[in-house]
Chains A and B, each alone.
Chain A
């Protein structure tokens, strides 16, 4: 294109500055240069090699939703079996695999990844930069995630699905009682997804700390970005626990270590401590970004900034911290000393305080604003209603005497679906309605959206509310059937029928997306008249996100400065470059070269994935696999004469 012959002339013109800069370029030329520099090449290779955070974020979201469908269909199968007492529709063997796959997939392959996926897509746009800090790591994390998910579902299709529950307690999952290779696949899948989650966490932290656009001081960071940042820290300190424990499990099963074997000095509770040290923060890893969605959607649809910005930020940080002091509340029935248990009761109750503060701030925001009842807001309202109920049952089970009754019953099942579906999936659906126009350039249908909301909202409550009652009546969870004379048949039938309503709601959701992708109203840059930076660029955004990096002077930049937008100049346009700034005040410090497309993250992921997979069959795989893995990583990092190396 025309930029190349001009380059040398351009260099002279700018007095010794390296490369072509955006300063003074006319708009058309600027866009052409940027497009060429940041493009993803066409064809399969381009698709596999891209490091564009939007493409990766998008495929992350799509993949996560596919896993939602798989896990949701397993739930439907579960409900089919439970609809009648002593029903023989599904064998216990299959049932155990189904609920394990449902829980495992929902937690590890849907809920956590989908939250990361949104972060990967949105964070660079919201903080005004062009890519995440480590774009290749980002691509790598996606490929590792898909391989883990594929592996466990292929194993399930081959009747080797995990079947010891989503927390795979030993000894049931250990060498003596775990069936075949089932727990091995489970444990390795966990390792894959943890690697990918940790990779995303690291890159989010570096991105938010260093790549914020000038003027975006700490107190101007959008609340959603705050929530993702806190989540990244929680991931950083929680996920190693499950990596350690799943490695120990694999070692016990494959090479005969004795970590969990009481006969040889091991301990079954060690697993539970390690797992829940991760497992409790895990649920906040899902929940905190969801509160970020709420804080992003709410101001747009009640037409005012969120009330109590500082209070919400502090609550997020407090939830992040406190989430590490609660794990034993999943283990009350193991009979730990009473004083210890009281400590965990108290800390579990304490976490209700920051959660409450957030709820109060949102209600105050609504109080002081003027709500517009678009679908995203409906989901937010549905969230507040549902989450408060789920939170209250959470506070109830935090009390030891009560928990000893309802632990491992449908009461707990009800609690966690209220907080997971109501607390995380509702905001997520709202977020899809909210950002769909940004991502695709088209609006989702509002009419279908309202139907979608009401079906999901009513279907959900009809499905899960009766579970509280079943739990109080003593119906245990994870049973493939229950006695005829238990009297639980009616309620279970009702639940199973209601879950069809819920299913219809989700079906409508997917239908709406498919239809709107082709026929939706064209969105334009800022269809909701929202205030944050992602709305300051085209929909969908170009590969370079912003033609000029925006400069921020206010917490709600697009409301404060709707007409003349202050921007940065002086960045290169012939090489990928983003702007690095100070952590606290985002004062520009560096023009940071940003990695170009590369196939090596994919190849490395294949090497790492293959090694993990083979290690299920022989421990030597770790030794042999080290060779392709190191080749992969070396090629990934080996500089290949990128333009930025000239400086």
Chain B
């Protein structure tokens, strides 16, 4: 079989941002499957709530303070998060470095507050199904928070080493920011479910 070159790709870039990058699609797919997981867990919450004669079962509604604090921190983090995305797309390494430090701190803060959030549920996981499902929801979100903060820290370290100068790392930073938005949005929804459903 003869080969006949018809397309020359030699001048194409090796990385780009957003939907042009395969990694972005990978991230989106992970977000989709995790969102499905959240949706089903929330579905299980309401399923159990509908079955129960009283909701919450044998417990007061959870204490609002720590959860709300986490919500405020996470919502506030959207601003630096989008700035970092913008700087990454501008390929402005020095600003991205600053941004990554900010995001690392903003990521660790809610994790610290979360230590108080579990007792604020005012029920233990093994007391009844209500206790189980709220711990489950909170645990699910915490593991997402943990993984993304871990990811952020690794990227932040990379930014300060030789490796960070490679342009495609900036694309990774942008994808990480995209994922962080998901962590924030999913908390906004879970917050309503965990803290406000029992108050209705």
* Touch test A–B (CB under 8 Å): yes
Interface residues of A (CB under 8 A from B): 14, 17, 21, 23, 133-134, 198, 201-203, 205-207, 209-211, 214, 236-237, 239-241, 243-244, 248, 251-252, 255-259, 261, 264-267, 270, 273-274, 277, 536, 547-548, 551, 562-571, 577, 579-580, 583, 588-593, 630, 634, 637-639, 641, 644-647
Measured CB to CB, the closest approach of chain B to A247, in angstroms, equals 8
A236's nearest neighbour on chain B, judged by CB, is B33
Cβ-defined partner of A645 (8 Å) among B8, B52, B131, B166: B166
Chain A residues, CB < 8 A from B14:
577, 590-593, 644, 647
**B82 within 8 Å of A by Cβ?**
no
**B6 within 8 Å of A by Cβ?**
yes
Task: Flag if B20 contacts A202 (CB, 8 Å).
Answer: no
- Report how far A252 CA is from B51 CA in the complex, Å: 19
Task: Flag if B6 contacts A240 (CB, 8 Å).
Answer: no
Task: Flag if B126 contacts A237 (CB, 8 Å).
Answer: no
Chain B residues, CB < 8 A from A240:
33-34, 36-37, 40
Take A133-B26, A205-B29 as given contacts and tell me if A565 and B1 are in contact as well, using a CB distance cutoff of 8 Å. yes
Task: Flag if A209 contacts B25 (CB, 8 Å).
Answer: yes
Task: Flag if A256 contacts B7 (CB, 8 Å).
Answer: no
Task: Flag if B33 contacts A548 (CB, 8 Å).
Answer: no
Cβ-defined partner of B6 (8 Å) among A21, A201, A567, A646: A567
Pairs across A and B, CB under 8 Å, 10 listed? A202-B29, A206-B23, A206-B25, A265-B51, A270-B44, A566-B4, A567-B4, A570-B10, A644-B14, A647-B166
**B195 within 8 Å of A by Cβ?**
no
**B9 within 8 Å of A by Cβ?**
yes
Task: Flag if B129 contacts A267 (CB, 8 Å).
Answer: yes
Main secondary structure of the interface of A (DSSP, over half): mixed
Measured CB to CB, the closest approach of chain A to B145, in angstroms, equals 13
- Report how far A261 CA is from B166 CA in the complex, Å: 54
Task: Flag if A590 contacts B21 (CB, 8 Å).
Answer: yes
Chain B 39-53 interface mask (CB, 8 Å, partner A; 1/0): 011001001100110
Cβ-defined partner of A211 (8 Å) among B10, B22, B37, B129: B22
B169's nearest neighbour on chain A, judged by CB, is A639
A-B pairs under 8 A by CB, number: 208
- Report how far A210 CA is from B16 CA in the complex, Å: 13
Task: Flag if A588 contacts B128 (CB, 8 Å).
Answer: no
Q: Count residues of chain B with CB under 8 A from any CB of chain A.
A: 57
- Report how far A638 CA is from B155 CA in the complex, Å: 9
Take A241-B40, A244-B37, A244-B44 as given contacts and tell me if A548 and B5 are in contact as well, using a CB distance cutoff of 8 Å. yes
Chain B 168-183 interface mask (CB, 8 Å, partner A; 1/0): 1100000000000000
Q: With contacts A244-B44, A266-B132, A570-B7 known, what are 4 further pairs, Cβ within 8 A?
A: A257-B129, A274-B44, A277-B40, A591-B12
Task: Flag if A267 contacts B40 (CB, 8 Å).
Answer: no
Task: Flag if A239 contacts B8 (CB, 8 Å).
Answer: no
Chain B residues, CB < 8 A from A277:
40
A207's nearest neighbour on chain B, judged by CB, is B22
- Report how far A237 CA is from B101 CA in the complex, Å: 35
- Report how far A198 CA is from B32 CA in the complex, Å: 11
Task: Flag if A201 contacts B129 (CB, 8 Å).
Answer: no
Task: Flag if B2 contacts A588 (CB, 8 Å).
Answer: no
Take A564-B2, A569-B9, A593-B14 as given contacts and tell me if A206 and B44 are in contact as well, using a CB distance cutoff of 8 Å. no
Measured CB to CB, the closest approach of chain B to A590, in angstroms, equals 6
Take A251-B136, A265-B52, A273-B47 as given contacts and tell me if A639 and B163 are in contact as well, using a CB distance cutoff of 8 Å. yes
Task: Flag if B22 contacts A568 (CB, 8 Å).
Answer: no
- Report how far A554 CA is from B133 CA in the complex, Å: 53
